[in-house]
Amino acid sequence: MIIISSLFLSIFGLFNLFGLNQNLFFRQLVYLIFGFLGYYFLKSIGSHFFRINTKFFYWFFIGVLLITFFVGLEVRGSKRWLNFYFFNFQSSEFFKVFFILFLSEILTIKNILANSFFNFIKIFLYFLLPFLIIFKQPDLGNAMVYFFIFITLIMFSTVPKKYLGYLVGLIISFTPIGWFLMKDYQQARILSFISPHLDTQGTAYNMIQAVITIGSGMFFGRGLGLSTQSRLFFLPENTTDFAFASLVEQFGFFGGFFVLIFFTLIFIHLAKKTIYFYHQKSEDDQKKFLYCLGILTYFASQTIINLGMNMGIMPVTGIALPFISYGGSSVLAILLGLALLP
């Protein structure tokens, strides 16, 4: 059901792109073909190789993140991609899967946290290093996804809950400092979310146009290729960050409803798999539980954040909607994560 729902979401995403930009449609089709072929290949060979080499993959992607930070392709002030000519590689997307795999391994090693606060600090630093690099790219949206993954896995791991309390206290203490570490445009996006009327033609423009675009689709939509808000570029980033708004304009409430149904089916089946391994007792099953929980958190947080900003109920962040937003890194990474599910 997970892969069937993913396939239907991909079809919705492809039709949405076809109505907006045929060139992007064919590129996304190639990404999806490679993605699903890769999914079945990895599913056939299993996840053992990746599980026994989690530390290597962790440090490999830390290196790639640093390379991207210094020499990556810069788009609108952000360095998030390495340009491979035929494909822009976004390491922060792919690293999510290996970050989850790495944490699921180290958080279930027997007694690693039982008697040492130092070990907890060490694991926190494993999170903080990629978080800070991604935050400084700058990519606040993906940095927050890493934060949600880390907090969720820590909460359901064997980490003593008093350590979790220390961490929450530390985060609350440093929240005001985090505000001043944000870029000006990131602060402006949050302020425009709180008071969109203050700058309707500036920082609040994207959010306002997304809401207008969704509303203009009404119940059955304007039709494939007949959207006005999206095709006339009143709505910026209509194939990436605001792809859902574009989709609803073309296919209406009816199309958007079915997209939400397929997302919900994926959530339910990921949750069922997670709960199953939660009730198993072996250490290996606990690793599988944490991995399933991490993938559920990854998928759910990206989906909820993106849908929320499209509907004007969350601040705008540059984050992809799985299978709907255009982008090879996003779709390949999520299919990689699903392929490694036990």
When pLDDT is averaged across residues 11-30 and rounded to a whole number, the result is: 94
Q: Does 252 have pLDDT greater than 50?
A: yes
When pLDDT is averaged across residues 242-256 and rounded to a whole number, the result is: 94
Q: How far apart are CA 320 and CA 331, in angstroms?
A: 9
Q: How many domains does the chain have?
A: 1
pLDDT in tens, 24-78: 999 999 999 999 999 999 999 888 999 999 999 999 999 999 999 888 888 777 7
Q: What is the pLDDT of residue 204?
A: 72
Domain residue limits at 249: 2-339
Q: Does 115 have pLDDT greater than 60?
A: no
Q: Does 111 have pLDDT greater than 60?
A: no
When pLDDT is averaged across residues 12-35 and rounded to a whole number, the result is: 95
Nearest Cα neighbor of 330 from 306, 314, 313 is 306
Q: Does 194 have pLDDT greater than 70?
A: no
Any bridge partners for residue 83, and if so which? 88
Per the CB < 8 A criterion, the answer to whether 307 and 321 are in contact is yes
250 vs 71, more confident: 250
Q: What is the pLDDT of residue 209?
A: 87
Nearest Cα neighbor of 191 from 102, 315, 68, 310 is 315
- Torsion over CA: 236, 255, 320, 128 (sign): positive
Q: Does 114 have pLDDT greater than 70?
A: no
Q: What is the pLDDT of residue 185?
A: 64
Q: Does 96 have pLDDT greater than 90?
A: yes
Q: 22-26, 62-66, 169-173, 284-288 — which is least confidently predicted?
A: 169-173
The answer, as to whether pTM is greater than 0.85, is yes
Which residues touch 229 (CB under 8 Å, ≥6 apart)? 209, 212, 213, 216, 235, 238, 245, 246, 249
When pLDDT is averaged across residues 182-206 and rounded to a whole number, the result is: 66
Which residues touch 40 (CB under 8 Å, ≥6 apart)? 339
